[in-house]
Amino acid sequence: MKDCVLFSKLSENTVQCSACCHRCTIKDGATGICGVRKNYHGILKLLVWNKPTGVAVEPVEKKPLFHFLPGTPIFSLGTFGCNFGCLFCQNAMTSQLSKTDRWKGMYTKFLNQLKEWPPEKIVSYCTQNTISSIAFTYNEPSIFTEYTVDVMKLAKKSGIRGVFVSNGYQTKECLDYIEPYIDAFNIDLKSFRTEFYQTICNAKLQPVLDTIQRIYEMGKWMEITTLVIDGKNDSDEELTDIAKFIAQISPDIPWHLSACHPEYKMTDIRVTPKSTLQWAYEIGRQTGLHYVYLGNISNNAHAHTLCPTCKTILIERNYFDVANNSMKRGACPNCHTHIPGIWG
């Protein structure tokens, strides 16, 4: 447990958190919506500092990031808690555990039993195993921003890059705080409808759109993911709206379209049909996006990176593995078109 940075005092024992756009007002002894930022007598503390629920070394493509150090391993970690309450959450046992009354006793018990991963241990592991990047992922990293910054302050000294896989609900203060330490973002744009965010995610759409715009203006590398949910956010109109929004910021932002599986409180939906994802891909390309990718499906020809000019396959992927990378210094070897991304 450690004192938070992103908060302000409203009175002697009441604080307001500024990590995410909920901006929770938190009374003494209470936590914010996320369940991991708790007020102790007027000081906001991070309950999950150095206590990830799990760590793993994975292909960077699994984040998903396709234009960031392709084919390299990335150290990934996440914690308990989340500032969203997505009914379809694919990681509910960790992200929602602290917010469900019948699970709160388990949450406290599990939190106390977690193996500690202080920044020094994470960075040491990465340097010893030649891992060049760290991802804050699995749940929403803005809720443990201070842990992220502490890790990356040390990691940067060893030349290790930082990745933020997020729902995009950061405040401007949060983005400013992490800006020196994060090199790449993957932002979930779950829908382009306010009602979807309100009823299914317990959040709002506009702050996410604002975050995407800010990250681009910061000059950071960013890719966007939409989990396509059957009958919920898969209409032609909505997918077109998402694609147009991304394209008007930059047609070079990669858009990942992933299949949703029945989970948590939405077990009555069917797995997203492959045909729906393929049609969403066509919408993205027709809208003018240069890099559209499909995920979570087999026999996937739309996982490769193609040159937008001559259509040469530059990076060939098999699920999350890079089978072949023919790019030369971030460019197409055939027509020399520059491909945006972080390649080395």
Q: Is 86 annotated as a binding residue?
A: yes
Q: Give dist(CA 154, CA 50) in Å, integer.
A: 14
Type of residue found at 267: T
Q: Give dist(CA 92, CA 80) in Å, integer.
A: 10
Looking only at the bridges linking them, the beta strands covering 2-3 and 7-9 are: unpaired
Q: Say if residues 320 and 282 touch (Cβ distance below 8 Å).
A: no
* Helix extents (H) in the chain: 92-95, 104-113, 119-128, 145-157, 172-178, 194-200, 206-218, 236-249, 274-287
57 C-beta neighbours (distance < 10 Å), count: 12
The CA dihedral of 199, 10, 48, 224, to the nearest 10 degrees, is 40
The CA dihedral of 92, 98, 104, 106, to the nearest 10 degrees, is 60
Q: Is 126 annotated as a binding residue?
A: no
Q: DSSP states of 172-235 as a string?
A: HHHHHHHTTT--EEEEE---S-HHHHHHHSSS-SHHHHHHHHHHHHHT-EEEEEEEE-TTTS--
Q: Give dist(CA 62, CA 9) in Å, integer.
A: 39
Q: Is 21 annotated as a binding residue?
A: no
Q: Say if residues 82 and 34 touch (Cβ distance below 8 Å).
A: yes
Q: Give dist(CA 157, CA 43) in Å, integer.
A: 30
Cβ partners under 8 Å of residue 27, min gap 6? 13, 14, 39
Type of residue found at 324: N
Q: Which residues are annotated as a binding site for [4Fe-4S] cluster?
A: 82, 86, 89
Q: Which residues are annotated as a binding site?
A: 82, 86, 89
